Amino acid sequence: MPRYLSMIRIDENNAPAEGPSEALMGRMGELIEEMTKAGVLLDTAGLTPTSDGVRVHWEGGKTSVTDGPFTESKEVIGGYALLQAKDKAEAVEWTKRFLQVHEPFWTVTCEVREVVEG
């Protein structure tokens, strides 16, 4: 069965300062449990803010390292979910359910892409 990476994109500048509510975390926990029992969810996690990140760039035969935050980025990857689904449509349906557990004031985008095997 194919695997899909759902990259959770957020705008760090407009995310709630207090982070996810307890109610959101409860709904998220229930969905994660359901997805795990269904054998769809292989791994998931949130990521630290870009202020804690580092970018390593390769160009012209040289590497450069830039410390965060990365203010030029409107959206950043705030987390991910690795899914195993029968097809892309199923992966997208699970991703839609993930987005729908958020309160209306959140702005979250997920990019779903198939993992290349072998």
Domain ranges within the chain, ordered by starting residue: 3-114
Q: Which residues contact 2 (CB under 8 A, 6 or more apart)?
A: 84, 85, 86, 87, 88, 114, 115, 117
Q: Is the domain covering 3-114 a CATH 3.30.70.1060 domain?
A: yes
Q: What pLDDT, on a 0 to 100 scale, did the predictor assign at position 37? A: 97
Q: What pLDDT, on a 0 to 100 scale, did the predictor assign at position 91? A: 98
Q: What pLDDT, on a 0 to 100 scale, did the predictor assign at position 118? A: 81
* Residue numbers in the chain where pLDDT is lower than 50: none
